[in-house]
Amino acid sequence: MGIESLDVRGNAFLLSNGILHSKDAKTSHGLIRGTDRFKIKAVIDPVSAGKDAGEVLDGIYRGIPVYASLEEAIQKAGKPDYCIVGVATVGGILPPDLMDVIKSALVNGISVVNGLHDLLTEHPEIVELANKYSAKIIDVRKPKAYGELKFWSTGIFDVKCPVIAVLGMDCAIGKRTTALFLKQACEKAGLKAELIFTGQTGWMQGARYGFILDSTLNDFVGGEIAHAVISAYKHENPELIFLEGQSSLRNPSGPCGSEYLLSGNAKKVILVHEPNRKYFGHEPGWGEIPSVESEIKLINCYGSDVIALMLNTTGLTIKEANLIKKSYSEKLGIPVLFPLEEGVDTLVQVLINLKQ
């Protein structure tokens, strides 16, 4: 059974393994910013203990305390329904020192939600503890069975509302956060929008339609995208559909994006870029990230148009960021925004115009 059909909800602790302050805790970051599926009661992170999770993330107080241990969190915040693995490691490997916390959670009868490729259900000692203490293991990235996978369908061409792909120039750059902000901005303006999740955090945040792209057999990625879009369109009758992007078109460690443009028939794109990032994955050996202008030309070759550029300002001063924003605005002739600093409300009119 696909993860999208599971009705998992309740109070939760996030396990960020001492890296809450790092981009590798992006699953925690997404859930701290907002989730309709879980009520985040606390974060377990010995490095940031004693602080508010929101303030660690982006300086915004959110009333989510950070504790040094699971025991302290239970004592002060009460026992939750779930502990969520809140890190996104390279290769999806469970950090060995996180396993002790997971075991403690299970011994306390707390179910564990894991979004990494390293499935907890493939660790016999973990399964044994879960069974012994009546806890559940939810491996979000567990691949669908062959019989559940969908092959591509021409029904995608019957979707009449605009489909907008939120693509990025690299991994961990803000695509999902931007897509969520866009959906929320549309709802605030009275515009009905749906978000198609394609990663574990999107599902954890409560998106209803989608699949886990990087654990799907390659032959069925296009079909799963089309199926999610078609299902959202038929069941929700939205005015807009946003597709959460993964990786980037030219990241050699996991190129991704053409599926959205072709199989998902996304004719509009919102592009996310971090100007201060020079190399894919911050790894010189992976190659330099190409220019935004060349990325837009490549997207145009697929028959899609970039309608806005979102800038991740990591490592930039306010002055530097504003100069870069002004430069791109003049060169590209499209809206350029800082989604984290200024939101995305000013883009709503552009989105409304797409329906006309």
pLDDT of residue 88: 87
34-84 pLDDT per residue, tens = 999 999 999 999 999 999 999 999 999 999 999 999 999 999 999 999 999
Tell how far CA 78 is from the center of its chain: 28
pLDDT of residue 355: 78
pLDDT of residue 1: 58
pLDDT of residue 356: 60
Task: Give the Cα separation of 106 and 129 in Å (integer).
Answer: 6
From first to last of its 356 residues, the chain has per-residue pLDDT tens of 578 878 899 999 999 999 999 988 999 999 999 999 999 999 999 999 999 999 999 999 999 999 999 999 999 999 999 999 999 887 788 888 899 999 999 999 999 999 999 999 999 999 999 999 999 999 999 999 999 999 999 999 999 999 999 999 999 999 999 999 999 999 999 999 999 999 999 999 999 999 999 999 999 999 999 999 999 999 999 999 999 999 999 999 999 999 999 999 999 999 999 999 999 999 999 999 999 999 999 999 999 999 999 999 999 999 999 999 999 999 999 999 999 999 999 999 999 999 76
- Residues 6 or more apart whose Cβ sits within 8 Å of residue 46: 18, 68, 69
pLDDT of residue 7: 85
- Are 114 and 82 within 8 A, CB to CB? no
The model's pTM is 0.92
C-alpha distance from residue 216 to each of 98, 212, 239 (Å): 26, 7, 28
The closest alpha carbon to 126, from 142, 109, 102, belongs to 102
Count of beta carbons in the 10 Å neighbourhood of residue 247: 23
The closest alpha carbon to 231, from 264, 267, 187, 189, belongs to 264
